[in-house]
């Protein structure tokens, strides 16, 4: 028995040494937490139900807008990541490697064009397009990700998946200028997104307290013109806690998250 315990201990030590040599973060709130939220996104029927709920509301609001005409062609502005495309396979691979997001690995992933669809997204946008509503994709993917992004959208048959309707990041992560570009020529009837900055500049680079206050102020818009998709994996809700310092180590992020959480 003692011999078996000794052998098991040696194996665990060896595995731990291998992980450390590969730079894998041990017992990380950030890494392990994102593995947990990725399992939720991939396996929980509740996640799918929340997405369908969001898009069911979008159907209803779109139907209302189609009965009115202000003279401009109608449009929907949508985010891409975790709004129409599901990137949980990227999060899963990074978490299983003991790592977090990096720009290089993300660009490599988007170039593969292997993201799945968010439940309800494709059917809704196809329905909108069939009613002469143009779809504009405003994303903070970089310019060098355009080709893979369009390939991924076209693979599933998303409408208006072309150069003219894809507005990638242009110098700043703020989306207001790109939204204004669309509203100058179209009546925007709905905005779809998983991050509050997908809807208004009032959420750009703000503290958690400022974001909460802006959410309260815009409460009538949610489920009306703003349709929010669930994303517990990443977003400004997280980076605002880090004061938008993108170079923090997992250990530094862990410390901030532990300090931010409330217990009893």
Alpha-carbon distances of 146 from 13, 120, 138, 153, 250, rounded to whole Å: 44, 23, 12, 11, 29
> Which pLDDT tens digits describe the chain residue by residue (264 residues)?
444 444 334 433 433 443 444 444 567 999 999 999 999 999 999 999 999 999 999 999 999 999 998 889 999 999 999 999 999 999 999 999 999 999 999 999 999 999 999 999 999 999 999 999 999 999 999 999 999 999 999 999 999 999 999 999 988 889 999 999 999 999 999 999 999 999 999 999 999 999 999 999 999 999 999 999 999 999 999 999 999 998 898 899 999 999 999 999
Contact of 76 with 147, CB cutoff 8 Å? no
In this prediction, residue 70 carries a pLDDT of: 86
Separation CA 127–CA 135 (nearest Å): 11
Burial tier of 39 (Cβ tally within 10 Å: 0-12, 13-18, 19+): middle
Delineate the domains of the chain, giving CATH numbers in brackets: 28-259 (3.40.50.1000)
Contact of 51 with 100, CB cutoff 8 Å? no
In this prediction, residue 170 carries a pLDDT of: 83
Separation CA 126–CA 142 (nearest Å): 25
In this prediction, residue 26 carries a pLDDT of: 65
- For residue 159, how far is the Cα from the chain centroid? 20
SS3 171: coil
Entry pTM: 0.89
Contact of 82 with 231, CB cutoff 8 Å? yes
């Amino acid at each position: 028995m003692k011999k078996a315990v000794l052998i098991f201990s040696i194996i665990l030590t060896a595995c731990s040494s291998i992980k450390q040599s590969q730079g894998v973060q041990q017992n990380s709130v950030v890494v392990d937490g994102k593995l947990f939220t990725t399992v939720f996104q991939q396996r929980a029927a509740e996640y799918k139900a929340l997405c369908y709920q969001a898009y069911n509301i979008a159907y209803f609001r779109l139907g209302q807008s189609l009965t009115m005409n202000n003279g401009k062609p109608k449009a929907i502005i949508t985010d891409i990541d975790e709004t129409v495309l599901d990137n949980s396979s990227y999060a899963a691979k990074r978490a299983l490697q003991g790592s977090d997001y990096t720009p290089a690995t993300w660009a490599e992933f988007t170039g593969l064009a292997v993201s799945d669809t968010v439940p309800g997204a494709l059917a809704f946008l196809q329905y909108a397009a069939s009613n002469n509503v143009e779809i504009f994709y405003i994303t903070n993917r970089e310019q060098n990700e355009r080709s893979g992004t369009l390939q991924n959208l076209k693979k599933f048959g998303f409408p208006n998946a072309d150069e003219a309707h894809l507005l990638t990041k242009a110098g700043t992560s703020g989306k207001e200028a790109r939204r204004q570009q669309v509203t100058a020529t179209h009546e925007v009837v709905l905005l779809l997104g998983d991050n509050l900055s997908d809807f208004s500049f009032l959420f750009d680079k703000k503290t958690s307290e400022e974001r909460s206050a802006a959410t309260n102020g815009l409460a009538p818009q949610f489920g009306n013109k703003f349709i929010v998709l669930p994303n517990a994996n990443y977003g400004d809700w997280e980076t605002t806690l880090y004061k938008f310092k993108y170079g923090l180590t997992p250990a530094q992020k862990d410390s901030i998250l532990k300090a931010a959480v409330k217990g009893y």
